[in-house]
A and B are shown apart, each in its own frame.
Chain A
Amino acid sequence: MPREGGVVDEQAMKGIGRQIKLPWSKAVEIAAKSMKVRMGRSVVTTASIVLAIAFLMSILTGTTLTTSLRIQPQREILRVREQLEQVEAGAIAPFAFPEGLSEDQLSREISSKRHRAEEEEADPLVIQRLFDEVSVAEAARQVLRADTDYQRARAMHDWQVSKAQLELTNVENEWQRLIRRLRMEGVTGLSVEVTRAPPERSYFRMLAEEMEPRDRWLGVVAVMVCFVGIWNAMLMSVHERIREIGTMKCLGALEAFIIKLYFLESSFIGMTGTFLGIVLGFVLSYLRASWAFGFGPIYSYFDFGGALLSAVSTLFIGSALSVFAAVFPAYRAAKYDPVVAMRVDE
């Protein structure tokens, strides 16, 4: 090649090696500025990602919630049952009975509840619930009456089981009511009976098994919305900056630098949107469930560890999406001909 004494001698070319890694900080700076300047659009893009991710997150949280509500009380009943077996086997001492309950109080409560249950005609669920409360009170009274430790332990166990059972029924009732309110007919089959131990399985396995087909489909759609939104925003950003990109290339920017700019911009928008979406989706579906089932049961039964896993994986999905969605636009920007910088008409 004819380059003796030319501009592109070997020693001078060494500058290029430095040129490749150096401008990371510059790229971050430029990407941040360009987002700031296009604040309006950045906010709209971010908002669409927030909504899509919030939707995805609320599907995951919802599945976690309904599954925990169904399974956690069953676990509790099983736990009490196990304890009784141990009491019967003489392994542990019976529990102490809480103070402040008198037999009189319990008797009065039982009869009033029976009475109300008989009068109640409207809602079979309410009747069921009253009967459940009666059985709790009955069990409690037997605890009070017990003479021997063994009898007390036995009654105590019944009482605990009844309480767990009642809570499960409450949840069940609220669940039915919610279903009716949301007109989601067909979502039944939640069994109160505890015949065998609920499955021990990983969180993701649970999601895979418990998520309804329609939710699965909606989740995929949310992810796609997110992807297309970022893609579109990045393409617009490239289009608006054709001349700017051309100018930078005239000033000696390598394609890698231009690509960096777009990846940074989309990662930033994508991660911010995803993070906000996760928070929004979680808070909304948690509040909605608490509103429907009561704050107590939700708080005590909700699988927070699982929800955290959901959040982390959603963050991962959102960030990966935002990087993937920028591939084509960034590549396109990098390939823009610097000649456009010279062109007078836009």
Chain B
Amino acid sequence: MPDSIVRTREVKRVYVMGDTKVHALRGVNLEVYAGEYISIMGPSGSGKTTLFNMIGGLDKPSEGKVYIDEVDVAQLDAYELAWLRCRKIGYIFQTFNIIPVMTALENVTLPMTFAGLTSDEARNKGADLLDKVGLGDRLNHKPFELSGGQQQRVAIARSMANDPAVILADEPTGNLDLNTGQEIIELLKEMNETAKVTIITATHDMKMLSASDRIVWIRDGRVDRIEKRSDLDIDAGKIGGVEDA
């Protein structure tokens, strides 16, 4: 039995807006094992981002528990949460969120600085990581000098900065064209295989599923079903038959 790295128990999240309540999550039970590549599939508005915020320790559930490496995230104070975000979790965003005033290398080394690495150590490691994502010749480029795909590669290198246990990628290909998106997925898969980092991505695009070990379908704030890749015939014909968002 592999170790579970992320576990949620009956996680609910209700957004209260004036008189109305939005039930973004209605009781999610999910277990993710170390080294897995998981895709969370669901139409837009189904609660994927909300779930990511819970897993990433960015938001707290209204009810239920989130465990990361068997630690209850709700029990952590601000310092411990910062530590968790810095060392244990790598974030990749749909909008890349590369810090615009910094070069690619500075973006990648920033989390290392937060983790207490010296600038020499950080620079070497950052250059290695950027080399791994295929940007070895773009270290000193600013974000506006990079294409969307290249920015997302910087983000991947940055998420790997402190050798996290889990990378959370919320619709990492949402702002990219098909081919670039596919390359990003392949890169994430490569990181998953070579660095053994657990990857959890959210998407509503069928074409991004091929790399996944398991696919978690969520709908209306609940887990609809979980499929193993072996169960799923990654065949364009069949996927085409599944309802898309």
B227 near A: Cβ within 8 Å? no
CA distance A337 to B56 in the complex (A): 13
For the complex with contacts A255-B78, A337-B58, 11 further pairs of A-B residues with Cβ separation under 8 Å are: A5-B70, A8-B76, A13-B79, A15-B115, A37-B101, A247-B91, A252-B115, A253-B82, A341-B91, A341-B93, A342-B58
Known contacts A16-B83, A341-B91, A342-B53; A251 and B101 CB within 8 A of each other: no
CB within 8 A of B110: which of A5, A19, A251, A337?
A251
Highest count of chain A CB atoms <10 Å: which of B84, B87, B97:
B97
Contact B71–A252 (Cβ < 8 Å): no
Do B80 and A13 have beta carbons less than 8 Å apart?
yes
Pairwise interchain contact B116-A344, C-beta atoms closer than 8 A: no
24 example contacts (A-B, Cβ-Cβ < 8 A) are as follows: A2-B71, A2-B72, A6-B70, A7-B84, A12-B83, A13-B83, A23-B113, A26-B113, A30-B102, A37-B100, A37-B101, A246-B97, A248-B110, A249-B85, A250-B97, A251-B91, A251-B110, A252-B83, A252-B114, A252-B162, A254-B82, A342-B49, A342-B52, A342-B58
B111 at the interface (CB under 8 A from A): yes
Does B59 sit at the interface, judged by CB under 8 A?
yes
> By the criterion CB–CB under 8 Å, are B111 and A33 in contact?
no
Interchain CA distance A325-B92 in the complex, whole Å: 35
Interface string of A60-80 (1 = CB under 8 A from B): 000000000000000000000
Cβ–Cβ contact B101 & A34, under 8 A: yes
**Are A22 and B116 in touch, CB under 8 angstroms?**
yes
Interface positions of A (Cβ within 8 A of B): 1-3, 5-8, 12-13, 15-16, 18-19, 22-23, 26, 30, 33-34, 36-37, 243-244, 246-255, 257, 337-339, 341-344
Q: Which residues of A contact B88 (CB under 8 A)?
A: 7
Given A15-B116, A23-B114, A251–B76 Cβ distance below 8 Å? Answer: no
Selected contact of B95 from candidates A8, A23, A339, A344, CB within 8 Å? A344
Q: Does B189 contact A (CB under 8 A)?
A: no
B214 on the A face (CB < 8 A): no
Interface residues of B in 7-65 (CB under 8 A from A): 49, 52-53, 56, 58-59
Q: Which residues of B contact A (CB under 8 A)?
A: 49, 52-53, 56, 58-59, 68-72, 75-76, 78-80, 82-88, 91, 93-95, 97, 99-102, 110-111, 113-116, 158, 161-162, 165, 170-171, 174
Closest-by-CB residue of B relative to A245 is: B99
Query: Beyond A7-B84, A252-B85, A252-B111, is A19–B116 a contact (Cβ under 8 Å)?
Result: yes
Closest chain-B Cβ to A41's Cβ sits at a distance in Å of 14
Q: Which residues on B sit within 8 Å (CB–CB) of A251?
A: 85-86, 91, 110-111, 114, 158, 161
- A149 to chain B minimum Cβ distance, whole angstroms, is 79
Which residue of chain B has its CB nearest to the CB of A243? B97
When distances are taken between beta carbons in the complex, the residues of chain A under 8 Å from B78 are 254-255
Known A-B contacts A6-B71, A15-B115, A344-B95; the reply to A252 vs B80 at CB < 8 A is no
Question: Chain B CB within 10 Å — which of A5, A244, A337, A344 has the most?
Answer: A344
Minimal Cβ-Cβ distance residue in A for B49: A342
Chain A hits for B162, CB < 8 A: 252
Decide yes or no: A19 and B115 within 8 Å by CB, A7-B165, A12-B83, A250-B58 being known contacts: yes
Which residue of the partner chain B has the closest CB to A23?
B113
B101, chain A: closest CB distance, angstroms: 4
Chain A residues near B53: list those with CB within 8 A: 339, 342
Q: Which residues of B contact A18 (CB under 8 A)?
A: 116
The smallest beta-carbon distance between A335 and chain B, in angstroms, is 11
Q: How far is the CB of A257 from chain B (nearest CB, A)?
A: 7
Closest B-chain residue to A25, C-beta based? B119
Query: How far apart sit A33 and B106, CA to CA, in the bound complex (Å)?
Result: 12
Partner of B82, one of A2, A23, A37, A252: A252
Which residues does chain B contribute within 8 Å of A6, judged by CB atoms?
69-71
Q: B100 to chain A: which residues have CB within 8 Å?
A: 37, 244
Q: How far is the CA of A33 from the CA of B107 in the complex (A)?
A: 13
Q: Which residues of A contact B91 (CB under 8 A)?
A: 247, 250-251, 341-342
Residues of B within 8 A of A26 (CB): 110, 113
| Closest residue of A by beta carbon distance from B101 | A33
Give 10 closest A-B pairs by Cβ, nearest first.
A252-B86, A6-B71, A18-B116, A33-B101, A252-B114, A247-B97, A251-B111, A7-B69, A250-B91, A252-B85
State whether A19 and B86 are in contact (beta carbons under 8 Å apart), knowing that A37-B100, A251-B91 are contacts in the complex.
yes
A3 to chain B, nearest CB (A): 5
CA distance A81 to B29 in the complex (A): 99
Min distance, Cβ B2 to any Cβ of chain A, angstroms: 15
CB-CB nearest in chain B for A257: B114
Q: Cβ of B87: which chain A residues have Cβ within 8 Å of it?
A: 7, 12, 15, 252
| A-side contacts of B97, CB under 8 Å | 243-244, 246-247, 250, 341
Taking a contact as CB atoms under 8 Å apart, the answer to whether A16 and B79 are in contact is: yes
A2 touches which of B75, B115, B165, B171 (Cβ 8 Å) = B75
| Interfacial chain B residues near A248, Cβ < 8 Å | 99, 110
| Cα(A255)–Cα(B114), bound, Å | 12
Q: Which residues of A are found within 8 Å of B113, using beta-carbon distances?
A: 22-23, 26
The answer, among B82, B101, B110, B165, for a CB contact under 8 Å with A16, is B82
Q: How far is the CA of A247 from the CA of B91 in the complex (A)?
A: 9
